[in-house]
Structure 1
Amino acid sequence: MKSKEMMGMKKMRFLFEVLVPALLTGMLASMAEGRTHYYDFVLKETNFTRLCSTKSMTTVNDSFPGPVIRIHRGDLVYVNVHNQDDFGVTIHWHGVKQTRNPWSDGPDHITQCRIQPGTNFTYKVIFGEDQEGTLWWHAHSDWTRATVHGAIVILPTQGTTYPFPKPDGEHLLVLASWFAGDFNEEYEEYLSNQTGTSFDDIAFTINGEPGDLVACGGETTHRWLVDYGKTYLLRIVNVVVNSELFFAISEHNLTIVGTDGTYTKPRVTSYIMIAPGQTMDVLITTNQSLGHYYMAARQFVTFDPSITGFNNMTATAILQYRGNYPPPDVPSFPINLPLFHDLDSGLGFLSLLRSLATPEHPVNVPLNITTRMFVTASINKVNYTFEGTEVSHFAASLNNITFMDPTSSILLAYYRHTSGVYTTDFPDYPPSYYNFTGDTYPPPMSVLATKVKVLNYNESVEIVVQWTNLLGQGADHPLHLHGYTFYVVGMGRGNFNNETDPKGYNLVDPPERNTITVPKNGWVALRFLANNPGTYECFLRDHFQGCRNLFINHSQFFFTGVWLWHCHFDRHLIWGMDTAFIVKNGETPETSILPPPAYMPSCAVQSLIRLEDFQDSVELFNEINVN
């Protein structure tokens, strides 16, 4: 009897001293590694009615906006995209660092070719270890992102919480564009004559609805039901195609606590200015009288509207308190919403934010800079005769390079050693210096080319981006960097002064962004550490199985991934305001790019067009601009 009891006690001891700790260790490791989520995105045409008319447009899973990806920090996501539409498409995971995985970043002709109709492709979405908050996803081919987009919500790691008191609830607002016509026709118009578009058939939407102030909008206006005396986390995403927006809620302050998937020091404001590509997390306390309050978004205009025209409509949604009270005839409108052309409110907002800078959310600003770049962001206009026809074209440039998209993937061209698709000589400085923000300026001199910048692993990079006034008028430039976040260490008006302006840099708690506005008549300074590799040597080893399968007849290949950097005004993007960074590998497998997936969308159905194929057109374009 005693021996049985002794054996039982030994089993119990073994259970508690060995098995239980092992199980707990496994559970904790599993929690630390995160969960894996699987999504299916089906792209197809769906009918929607807005502005008193019905049209068919491309959507994901029949929804506008598209489905929300909701995960915890540290989770992994696979998204299988099924293209049942009539056009090829790619999907970009905006703000997601895609650590060591540019294969799934998604920009058309940069890291992949399009997912063709009737085919599918699975993206592996790898978030940065420090990413938490609100990001988003969208199509990255033509202007399809006007209707193909959705939010990404990254909650704190399970068992942890926010760096502010846990809110009583949360809500998501997606600010978007609505084209009454076919947005592909709008896109073709920009490509063909590039004279802009009429704003009569364009509206802004909040969660897919333009609101009460437009025709046929009142019955479907988005409503957010809240309880009195609560604090809510409101996640706001600007997916608008070509406009920065002011946003405010009538009689309610907003406390900014996060931007672009990072936390910020709390900042109380009566409005926000949010650029395309940006996200903002704000806290709102429902402490006003029971009633209905407009949430409103309108365009922030930094260009001359008499020349370009602009969308003067205001999108609205309603914050509605629960309770028994007579509903108002008209909701209260936010008188604190800035006017369209309020430059002081727009530009002043840009300098409001600071990083949290705590031990749990540290700031790691590069201090010893190894690569410095000074980049001018310009809008050009080109007039020339082509085949007997007078043509007037807009162009956009970075350091006077108007980026020409290849029709093959740069990524594919690199590892196939295909020459003539791109060059690695993107300049660190503009070809000439002048009064960039002045009223007199040299004639446009942009060069049409596909130039990229190569960075060594772990380089500390500083980029000063200078707005230019080449056409005598122009808009802000919201620049987005794929694969990274960066610190906005400085911003100012006028021309950047290399002697005095760096003395005012914030190297303590600068905001961390993936998209930042280069202000009209001003400049912005960015810093980041190039530690997300885009190249690796592919040796024929077992752990590079995908590499071996692709290139069994070769002893060594150098793979590359590229990280796109571009203006998030789509009209400026298609005019050429973009380039790409190639980041070399580190010295260890952990600092090297991951192997490619077993399958990538084929470029075979898209003819491989190289720079030499367009040599006559390129030389003509450059000759016109130089002369």
Structure 2
Amino acid sequence: MESWVRTLVLMACLLLPGAVVECRIRHYKFNVVMKKTTRLCQTKPIVTINGQFPGPTVYAREGDNVLVKVVNRVKYNVTIHWHGIRQLRTGWADGPAYITQCPIQPGHQYIYNFTITGQRGTLLWHAHVLWLRATVHGAIVILPKFQVPYNPYPFPTPDKEVVVILGEWWKSDVEAVINEALKSGLAPNVSDAHTINGHPGPLTNCSSSQGFTLKVERGKTYMLRLINAALNEELFFKVASHLLTVVEVDATYTKPFKAETVLIAPGQTTNVLLTADRRLGRYLVAASTFMDSPITVDNNTATAILHYSGSLSTSPTTLTAPPPLNATPVATNFTTALRSLNSNKYPASVPLTVGHSLLFTIGLGVNPCSTCPNGSRVVADVNNVSFVMPTTALLQAHYFNISGVFTDDFPGNPPIAFNYTGTGSLPTNFQTMNGTRLYRLAYNSTVQVVFQDTGFIAPENHPIHLHGFNFFSIGRGLGNFNSKTDPANFNLIDPVERNTVGVPSGGWTAIRFRADNPGVWFLHCHLEVHTTWGLKMAFVVDNGKGPNESLLPPPSDLPTC
């Protein structure tokens, strides 16, 4: 009898993620398989999880242990990154290829095993090798701990929750796109469409095209769990005639505020409340590109429909105009409105003292290339270092003390100070250094990093993602960061807490975090093209005192290189 009870409880945990059951273990199986998929009137095989695009949503509750068995049935090496999960002492499950693990080779499998500690909200998972995350991605929904009385959120509980994933679509094979770019030394072709839950939206020249429909009932409130899974573009999101109330970003609660338009960069998540308070009908949902630099982008707008129950499918659609491509004021107003909730239950524990004060310049460069048609290739860098991926996973090299894989001499400041955002005073040599260089931190040290955009080739927005930690975005500005005057304007009271932050074009962003998670933690631009070109580095955080402050041993099924 007891075994049947345990079975029923486990089934409730797995099949009813919102059930009133406090679950302990969540089991998922990810089969990596090819799937023929039709978009933009064309069919091509894509890499998927369980044949789904986007992939399945991983549901868990705060405090749960999650085990995901990934079986690789395709010709590519595969890893899965659980973007935003802290992975406290479990860096082996973080997922970036050759950083925390060797890839899962074709025909092999690996079980990602991690516990969700002190987190609740919306995150995402995605492939973290090659450009596979174009189609290998999905949502992570972390439900708050169950308690009596059950008041799950610090805002009125919505009537329904809906996952909305924004993405990109290429007509060509995505791996062929980036491989051709690497051969030429130039930028890859931009995508052919943006998507909302896998669909570009109805197309007048493609009768078989279908879009995503969000069905609502008048008077009810819906929480949209927005995720930007696009490879290379920041996106605006808006719904015709409806205001959106922002309540969470990157699985941390914010002070609620209303916005007509949400800005969301690749790797970021945003939860918004939408109240269906308009007349019955159909309303356009739009996802469009934000780019305020002279960079070629996919400027196609993805569309979906918000459909009120009781409306005819032939009802006219209320339209909305997306912001202009270069709508910097819209982007800035949204970003600067974000504040941590900073309540007694959810405090903003900003480090008030700094042990490591770092200045990281980020941008593009040009290096010689003997095999490229023009004799050179575009690269990207942090502090003039273009990161070279190792052939042995960095975490293994750190844990087993394997020499020759990396050095821990990453520069904490640019090698040469110059007018970073000036156009007429940049160095004439655009060449970068290459290396697998890490920055070492003692356990529990406090870190401040100022990310400074540079004007090499062109200034550009950069969404920077740090694995293994949340951080506080304490300041931002245009031009060059001034270490003497700008810190006076830092917000150390209620800055937004994130895992991925945008660095404005021709400007800077400052963050702070506490290095309380031992291991090797990747930091990179979440524009996939920039990561490929070398805009990445890693922190190595040493063990603290005792087993609770030390990296766990590697699992027995950890893939080998």
Same-fold call, TM > 0.5? Answer: yes
Query: Aligned pair 1:583/2:534, yes or no?
Result: no
Contact 1:104–1:124 at 8 Å: present in 2 too?
yes
> Measured at CA, do residues 349 and 372 of structure 1 come closer, stay the same or move farther in structure 2, by a change above 3 Å?
same
Q: Which residue does 1:69 correspond to in 2?
A: 58
SS of match in other structure, 2:346: coil
Taking the aligned partners of 2:178 and 2:484, their CA distance within structure 1 comes to 43
Q: Which residue does 2:162 correspond to in 1?
A: 171
Q: Which residue does 1:453 correspond to in 2?
A: 439
Gaps in structure 2 of 5+ consecutive residues = 1-19
Query: Aligned pair 1:527/2:512, yes or no?
Result: yes
**Distance apart, 1:70 and its partner CA:** 1.0
Taking the aligned partners of 1:483 and 1:124, their CA distance within structure 2 comes to 15
- Number of residues paired by the alignment? 537
* Counterparts of residues 120-131 of structure 1 (less than 5 Å): 120-129=109-118, 131=119
Query: Aligned pair 1:333/2:297, yes or no?
Result: no
Rg bigger for which structure? 1
Taking the aligned partners of 1:525 and 1:415, their CA distance within structure 2 comes to 30
SS of match in other structure, 1:145: helix
Contact 2:281–2:311 at 8 Å: present in 1 too?
no
Taking the aligned partners of 1:101 and 1:245, their CA distance within structure 2 comes to 32
Contact 1:211–1:218 at 8 Å: present in 2 too?
no
Taking the aligned partners of 1:136 and 1:319, their CA distance within structure 2 comes to 23
**Distance apart, 1:349 and its partner CA:** 2.0
SS of match in other structure, 2:494: coil
Q: Which residue does 1:262 correspond to in 2?
A: 252
Question: Pick from 320, 334, 343: which aligns with 1:358?
Answer: 343
Q: Which residue does 2:310 correspond to in 1?
A: 323
Alpha-carbon displacement from aligned partner over 1:11-35 (angstroms, at most 9, x marks no partner): xxxxxxxxxxxxxxxxxxxx99851
Question: Pick from 359, 367, 379: which aligns with 2:352?
Answer: 367
* Counterparts of residues 18-57 of structure 1 (less than 5 Å): 34-57=23-46
**Distance apart, 1:390 and its partner CA:** 4.2
> Measured at CA, do residues 32 and 359 of structure 1 come closer, stay the same or move farther in structure 2, by a change above 3 Å?
farther
Q: Which residue does 1:391 correspond to in 2?
A: 375
Q: Percent identity?
A: 43
Question: Pick from 308, 311, 319: which aligns with 2:298?
Answer: 311
Alpha-carbon displacement from aligned partner over 1:457-503 (angstroms, at most 9, x marks no partner): 110110011110011x2321100000000000111111111111100
> Measured at CA, do residues 483 and 387 of structure 1 come closer, stay the same or move farther in structure 2, by a change above 3 Å?
closer
* Counterparts of residues 174-573 of structure 1 (less than 5 Å): 174-199=165-190, 202-213=192-203, 215-216=205-206, 219-304=209-294, 308-325=295-312, 327-329=314-316, 331-335=317-321, 337-382=322-367, 384=368, 386=370, 390-440=374-424, 441-442=426-427, 443-471=429-457, 473-534=458-519, 562-573=520-531
Question: Pick from 94, 104, 123: which aligns with 2:83?
Answer: 94
Alpha-carbon displacement from aligned partner over 1:497-529 (angstroms, at most 9, x marks no partner): 111110001011000000000100110010001
Taking the aligned partners of 2:164 and 2:50, their CA distance within structure 1 comes to 19
Contact 1:292–1:327 at 8 Å: present in 2 too?
no
> Measured at CA, do residues 325 and 180 of structure 1 come closer, stay the same or move farther in structure 2, by a change above 3 Å?
closer
Contact 2:461–2:504 at 8 Å: present in 1 too?
yes
> Measured at CA, do residues 324 and 269 of structure 1 come closer, stay the same or move farther in structure 2, by a change above 3 Å?
closer
Taking the aligned partners of 2:39 and 2:288, their CA distance within structure 1 comes to 18
Taking the aligned partners of 2:218 and 2:77, their CA distance within structure 1 comes to 48
Taking the aligned partners of 1:594 and 1:421, their CA distance within structure 2 comes to 21
Alpha-carbon displacement from aligned partner over 1:200-244 (angstroms, at most 9, x marks no partner): x62111001000246427741110100001111110000000000
Bigger shift: 318-327 or 37-46? 318-327
SS of match in other structure, 1:220: coil
2:156 aligned partner, one-letter code: P
Taking the aligned partners of 2:210 and 2:396, their CA distance within structure 1 comes to 46
Gaps in structure 1 of 5+ consecutive residues = 1-30, 535-561, 604-627
Taking the aligned partners of 1:326 and 1:40, their CA distance within structure 2 comes to 37
SS of match in other structure, 2:540: strand
Contact 1:377–1:465 at 8 Å: present in 2 too?
yes
> Measured at CA, do residues 495 and 425 of structure 1 come closer, stay the same or move farther in structure 2, by a change above 3 Å?
same
Bigger shift: 37-46 or 349-358? 349-358
**TM-score, normalised by the number of residues in structure 1:** 0.83
Alpha-carbon displacement from aligned partner over 1:173-214 (angstroms, at most 9, x marks no partner): 000111111001012023212322334x62111001000246
Contact 1:213–1:315 at 8 Å: present in 2 too?
no
Contact 1:374–1:429 at 8 Å: present in 2 too?
yes
Q: Which residue does 1:556 correspond to in 2?
A: none
> Measured at CA, do residues 338 and 390 of structure 1 come closer, stay the same or move farther in structure 2, by a change above 3 Å?
closer
Contact 1:50–1:216 at 8 Å: present in 2 too?
no
Bigger shift: 308-317 or 493-502? 308-317
**Distance apart, 1:252 and its partner CA:** 0.2
> Measured at CA, do residues 385 and 582 of structure 1 come closer, stay the same or move farther in structure 2, by a change above 3 Å?
closer
SS of match in other structure, 2:332: helix
> Measured at CA, do residues 369 and 388 of structure 1 come closer, stay the same or move farther in structure 2, by a change above 3 Å?
closer
* Counterparts of residues 2-21 of structure 1 (less than 5 Å): none
1:466 aligned partner, one-letter code: Q
> Measured at CA, do residues 134 and 389 of structure 1 come closer, stay the same or move farther in structure 2, by a change above 3 Å?
closer
Taking the aligned partners of 2:463 and 2:25, their CA distance within structure 1 comes to 33
1:134 aligned partner, one-letter code: T
**Distance apart, 1:385 and its partner CA:** 5.9
Q: Which residue does 1:142 correspond to in 2?
A: 130
**Distance apart, 1:432 and its partner CA:** 1.2
**TM-score, normalised by the number of residues in structure 2:** 0.93
